[in-house]
Structure 1
Amino acid sequence: MEEISLFLLLCSVLAGYLLGIISGLLPGIHTNNFALALVAFAPFLAERGVAPFYIALIILSNAVSHTFHDIIPSVFLGAPDADTALAVLPGHRLLLEGAGAEAVRLSALGSAGSVVASMLFVLPFSLFFGAIYPYLQEYMAWVLITIVFIMLASEKGEEVEGQGPLAKYRSKVFALFLFLITGALGAFAFSRESLLVPVISLGQASVLLPLLSGLFGASQLIISLLTSSEIPEESVSKFELSRKRILRGILTGSTAGSLVAWLPGVSSAIAALLAGLFVRSDFDRISIKKENSEPVPGGQKSVLFSDPYEDRQTLESSKEFIVSVSGVNTSNAIFGLVALLVIGKTRSGAMAAMNEILGIESLGFQVILLFFAAILLTSLFSYFSTVWIGNNAHHMLRKLDYTKLCVGVLAGLTITVFLFTGFFGLFLFVISTPIGMLPSFMKVRKSHAMGVILLPVILYFF
């Protein structure tokens, strides 16, 4: 490999970091869009002295930076991507409790912590998965079915006295129904992905944008409108979560993200679902309840909770899950690179682009060290910018009328879906939105709606 230019290395990391801010903050824009564009421009840049190595660095830095910043639209706008869908409800709840900035800061901490944890996991996981990988694909469907079984069995629903011994199974039936109906919707959508005709084409359109925007984004915004919520005047940015919960969130998220990066067809969204099984309390359950007639400090019209202790536990679990899901996404991005190096398989569009530009045979020890150095540097930049944006976004949004903001975001989501997926994507968005509201009325966890991804993947492996 030719001599490395420190100036070009830093410029590449900075360029990828800035692209990650753009892709993280703008719903509908993904790292894969930039990766495909950079692959297309690689010959042009090579003619002007920019070696493929530096282009690969931009792609890698973009992928890492994106995992820090993509939590912001999920918390403040209810606009998820495939990796942060499960974070929408706990993040939005924290926003309405005056802790939106804290949620973003906890997310940044979860991502930063997962970088450290992932570095510790690299060697043992590489040795372990390098040995057992040939056997994984054969049993992948059963692994996913086991995850679904645990998820459904852990559903407790709402306890109501005097409804008989079979009442406790009602919530499990509702959860199974939600899983199957979203799974059927996902199977229908994926089988007809060719019908997506975007108005604006930025690479291959995906049905996940309309599906997840409806199931986890628009549905939650409508619930917020029904409960007449408002953003409090002050948003807590300091940590109000125990070190034990923060550490557990980092470890569970990092471990889950590191594990699924090796598995074919398994996304970080499924890893987040797996990590959520270890978070206590029902962080992703919310129901429409009677509105409090007396405003709380800060001017918020809150939803009544019957048990203050349970409410506090739920909020703490929401915060821990934010840490966990952020750790999942960042460690998954890092181990996507490790999986490429160890087993020669790509698990994301970014890694596929890097492999196409460089080829795994050219990734010597020096290049690998530089890649990990770029990950650390990008993570450092991304932590501070994520916290800064989170602290300032609340103050800007607080000046807006929350009802008008929700309506505006709903309109923005609708326009985004139409522009990037066309009429068929808009059709999927309209169908998935009321389905995404079902958990609130059935009083079961919204994570069962991840059947939209899980069931099609299970059917694929069968």
Structure 2
Amino acid sequence: MFGVAAGFLAGVIFGTISGFVPGIHSNTVAGILAALSIPLVMVFGVEGVCVMIVSMMIVHTFVDILPSTFLGVPDPDTVLSVLPAHNLCLLGNGPEAVRVSALGSLWGFVFCLPLFALFMIVLPSVQGYVDWGIGLVILLAAGLLIVFSKAPVWSCAVFLVSGLLGIYAMRFSYFSFGVFGIGEILLPLLTGLFGIPILLTSMKSLVKPAEQTFTGLMVSQGAILKNGIKGAIAGAIVGWLPGFSSGTANALLAVRKSSDFEKIDPREYLISTSAANTANAVLGLAALYAVGRMRSGAMITLASFDLPSIYLLVLVAGVAALAGYSVTVYSSRLSRIFMRLNQRILSKIVLLFLISITVIICGPFGILILILATLVGMIPGMINIPRIFCMGAIMLPVMLFTLGILNF
């Protein structure tokens, strides 16, 4: 029990750090933990290390909204939350954006529990029938996003260009070699597509964020519950099918409401996206235990150990969700400290940090991908279309792989 308790505490700390630091994803931390597995098992035991990975993964889904809100820098799970969260911050509502996101993640965990049980019962018998159709589902999803966009031609072009870049990055990912061995190529790819363009824009912008205040949540309880359920469903889709991001699934659910992505209510979108992120992490456990599918780097690391009881890990995930909520809400009070800093200087520091972490984790090839991705990521802002279409970098390679056209 000491190893489990100590592992949980360490996981909460690691998840908080990975959430706070822009550009660092829980998959990256999981990879480092995998490299240190032998000494970690000696200290915490196998169950303790597994508990550490799960608690770290869950806490990260709560805390990662902070750099997205106050710095405009995403990790792979928050790439599409940057615009609404950062815009609320510019209006002085950054603390509210963080609290709304934390509520969404908490309700996402609650609503995903029935889906978790359903996954465990249904997936083993149906997974084989749907594997062949995953590529078609992704094709349909991409088609809907493009057709309902306000500039279909440009949207399709950005989707295809980013998709080709994603294919190139994944095809030669073995060149991504850094200090810790083979690096996660998604780090420079998604940082370049979604993070650095926002930093470069903020350096040129004369817009200064308003004074950050919190006077309450400007969203109804009914909207919180509705979007929490919607996000949990989106998280189930992401947890089951590869090639989707939580933001992409939520954008598809919003297509019925509006053909213009930016018209979606930012608070409701934050709730649904955050709920999807947390539900996706939890339901990834179900996919691992039910059908042996590993949907994230954290699950790959977890699967390298002798898996403990699923009931233990679900309990750990629940306690970690409460811990992540508490840490995130408390951290929202740091907004005034962020806003006192010179935003241009801060953006430059973050930019240098992202370049440095790319060199450390992914080496020279990571820098090449970072540069190419940044060039592609600047296009949506120049032609005024949503950055969601840059998700072609993930969706197109996975679609072609599942259809048997490409092999990585």
TM-score, scaled to structure 2: 0.91
Per the TM alignment, residue 222 of structure 1 is displaced from its structure 2 partner at its CA by 2.5
- Asked if the contact 1:20/1:63 (under 8 Å) is kept, the reply is yes
Shift of 1:47: 4.8
Identify which of 200, 204, 208 aligns with 1:230.
208
The structural deviation recorded for 1:369 is 2.3
Matched, 1:414 2:358: no
Unaligned ranges ≥5, structure 1: 158-170, 286-313
State which of 64, 81, 103 in structure 1 corresponds to 2:58: 64
Work out whether residues 69 and 386 of structure 1, in 8 Å CA contact, stay in contact via their aligned partners in 2: yes
Q: Secondary structure at the match of 2:207?
A: coil
Offset from partner CA, 1:230-253 (integer Å, 9 cap, x none): 111123363112333322321121
Partner of 1:260: 238
Alpha carbons of structure 1 residues 413 and 284: separation in structure 2 relative to 1, 3 Å: farther
Q: 60, 70, 73: which is aligned to 2:67? A: 73
The change in CA–CA distance for 1:433 and 1:39 in structure 2 (over 3 A counts) is closer
Partner-residue secondary structure (3-state), 1:277: helix
Equivalent residue letter for 1:223 = T
Distance 1:317 1:277 in 2: 15
Q: In the alignment, does 2:110 pair up with 1:154?
A: no
1-side partners of 2:138 and 2:258: how far apart? 23
Alignment of 1:175-190 (within 5 A): 175-190=155-170
Residue 324 in 1 paired to residue 301 in 2?
no
- Note if contact 1:31-1:350 (Cα within 8 Å) is conserved in structure 2: yes
- Counterparts of residues 25-424 of structure 1 (less than 5 Å): 25-44=20-39, 46-47=41-42, 50-155=44-149, 157=150, 171-198=151-178, 201-236=179-214, 238-263=216-241, 265-267=242-244, 269=245, 271-279=246-254, 280-281=257-258, 285=262, 314=263, 317-359=265-307, 363=308, 367-392=309-334, 394-424=335-365
User: Are residues 176 and 33 of structure 1, via their aligned partners in 2, closer, same or farther at CA, if it must alter by over 3 Å?
Assistant: closer
Structure 1: distance between partners of 2:206 and 2:397: 36
Structure 1 residue 203, shift from structure 2 partner: 4.8
Structure 2 CA distance for aligned equivalents of residues 413 and 52 of structure 1: 33
Deviations 1:115-134 (A, max 9, x none): 10011222223333232100
Secondary structure at 1:29's aligned position in 2?
coil
CA–CA separation in structure 1 for the residues paired with 2:322 and 2:384: 40
Question: How far off its partner does 1:390 sit?
Answer: 2.1
Write the letter of the residue equivalent to 2:15: G
Equivalences, count: 401
Query: For residues 353 and 408 of structure 1, what CA distance do their matches in structure 2 show?
Result: 31
Which deviations, in whole Å up to 9, do the C-alpha atoms of 1:57-83 show, x marking residues without a partner?
111111111111112112222222211
- CA deviations 1:35-67 (Å, max 9, x no partner) are 34444555445556x431122111111111111
1:10 shift after superposition: 2.7
Distance in 2 (CA, whole Å) between partners of 1:398 and 1:19 is: 25
Q: Percent identity over the alignment?
A: 32
Classify 1:105/1:345 alpha carbon distance in 2 versus 1 (closer, same or farther; 3 Å): same
Q: Distance in 2 between matches of 1:66 and 1:46?
A: 22
**Partners of 2:181 and 2:164 in 1: CA distance:** 26
Question: Offset at 1:103?
Answer: 1.2
Q: Larger helix proportion, structure 1 or 2?
A: 2
Q: Which moved more, 1:52-61 or 1:228-237?
A: 228-237
Q: 2:381 is matched with which residue?
A: 440
CA distance in 2, matches of 1:343, 1:332: 16
* Residue 100 of structure 1: how far off its partner (Å): 1.4
**Which stretch has the larger CA shift, 39-48 or 443-452?**
39-48
Query: What is the RMSD computed on CA atoms of the aligned residues?
Result: 2.2
Which structure has the larger Rg over C-alpha atoms? Answer: 1
TM-score normalized by structure 1? Answer: 0.81
Judge conservation of contact 1:94–1:103 (CA < 8 Å) in 2: yes
Aligned to 1:164: none
**Residues 33 and 221 (structure 1), Cα distance of their counterparts in 2 relative to 1, 3 Å cut:** closer
After TM superposition, give the deviation of residue 179 of structure 1 in Å: 0.7
Distance across 2 between alignment mates of 1:27 and 1:139: 35
Alignment correspondent of 1:304: none
Change (3 A) 1:138 1:400: same
Which residue does the alignment assign to 2:406? none
What secondary structure is seen at the aligned counterpart in 2 of 1:261?
helix
Output the amino acid matched with 1:11: A
Amino acid at match of 2:175: L
CA distance in 2, matches of 1:42, 1:220: 36
Cα 1:10–1:183 shift into 2, 3 Å: same
Q: Is the 8 A contact 2:62 2:325 kept in 1?
A: yes
Distance, in Å, in 1 between the alignment partners of 2:63 and 2:33 is 21
Contact 2:8 2:51 in 1 (8 A): yes
